[in-house]
């Protein structure tokens, strides 16, 4: 069974990744688009989004300096986003979002992930989040295809990333 907490299996191998604030924001919004893509938000998706947002907050720094530029990670019990922080993020990303707008938004977010490691991380997260609700239907598959194109990933690379992600999430 896929639980929200399993998103950490995707995050942990990237703990040394340093994101710019803009990359963090783009990844968070892509994550939101992923869980909202099928038109329904379920509790497990929101729980996974909260876990992801909490971790991403601690991954921001200066990529040219490296991991030492990130703020020290707080203890796990202090890492969780508050209800207010989560509500603000969800409201920001949901405002005026219709399906056609989601397609267009995806195309504007992807170019903000120019660094390969940020783009592949975003893709892995999207693959993982699409499994959380247990409904890996056509909508999620369509999103993954659009992400591959928008992020400029090679098909074989995307397949490898998706397979590894599914193994981590379903295993």
- Per-residue pLDDT reduced to its tens digit, 72-94: 665 555 567 788 888 898 888 88
Rounded to two decimals, the pTM is: 0.90
Percent of the chain with pLDDT over 90: 48
CA torsion angle for 14, 65, 23, 35 (degrees, to 10)? 20
User: What are the boundaries of each domain within the chain?
Assistant: 4-170
pLDDT in tens, 2-16: 888 999 999 999 988
* pLDDT exceeds cutoff 70 at 148: yes
- Residue 125: the pLDDT is 96
Give the chain's mean pLDDT.
86
Average pLDDT, stretch 99-103?
Answer: 70
* pLDDT exceeds cutoff 80 at 149: yes
The candidate with the shortest Cα–Cα distance to 135, out of 124, 143, 147, is 143
Q: How many whole angstroms separate alpha carbon 140 and alpha carbon 37? A: 7
Average pLDDT, stretch 162-169?
Answer: 94
CATH T-level topology, domain 4-170: TerB-like (1.10.3680)
Q: How many whole angstroms separate alpha carbon 2 and alpha carbon 91? A: 26
- Residue 38: the pLDDT is 79
* pLDDT exceeds cutoff 90 at 140: no
Token pair for residue 144? 């993954």
């Amino acid at each position: 069974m896929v639980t929200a907490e399993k998103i950490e299996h995707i995050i942990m191998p990237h703990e040394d990744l340093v994101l710019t604030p803009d990359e963090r924001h783009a990844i968070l919004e892509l994550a939101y688009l992923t869980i909202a893509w099928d038109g329904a938000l379920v509790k497990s998706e929101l729980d996974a989004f909260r876990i992801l947002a909490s971790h991403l907050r601690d991954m921001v720094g200066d990529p040219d300096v490296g991991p030492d530029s990130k703020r020290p990670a707080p203890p796990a019990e202090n890492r969780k986003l508050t209800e207010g922080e989560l509500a603000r993020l969800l409201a920001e990303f949901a405002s005026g979002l219709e399906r056609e707008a989601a397609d267009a938004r995806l195309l504007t977010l992807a170019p903000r992930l120019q660094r390969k490691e940020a783009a592949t991380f975003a893709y892995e997260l999207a693959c993982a989040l699409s499994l959380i609700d247990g409904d890996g239907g056509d909508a999620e598959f369509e999103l993954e295809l659009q992400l591959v194109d928008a992020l400029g990933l090679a098909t074989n690379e995307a397949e490898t990333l998706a397979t590894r992600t599914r193994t981590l999430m379903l295993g």
